[in-house]
Structure 1
Amino acid sequence: MNTKDLILQELEETSEPLLNEILDFVRFLKIKQTQEATENQQDLDDSHQALIEAQEKGTISLEAFKTELGL
């Protein structure tokens, strides 16, 4: 039996109030997954842009970078 079948089996034995909570949780997980995918894509885009900028403008030392950030 696969995971989906096991979930469906459990749902058959679950009360309506609990089913409402499960539905809310599943929707929450889907939204969270979409947000994480969006954030991951943004991180990739930002990294790509930083790489392009480093290639165009050159780079600085780690110490200079820390100084610039006030670290």
Structure 2
Amino acid sequence: YEEGMYVWLRESQIDEIKGGKGLWTYSGPYIIHEKRERDSFVLKELSGAILPGHINIHQLRLFYYRPDHQTL
């Protein structure tokens, strides 16, 4: 993962919902704003607002943007 890439962020609180097996567990997309040590990242929203704190790589999934099929 590198700065400027689009990613999904895993919403772990949804894992705790009983019977929520089919619920979407990722939010986003977000943009990687800064890469930090030990596989952690600072994310920002599409509007440019930076999310507080840092996120571990295990909570991220790449977002594949296809401009011919999607709009952001």
TM-score (norm 2): 0.17
Q: Which has the higher helix share?
A: 1
Which one has the largest radius of gyration?
A: 1
TM-score (norm 1): 0.17
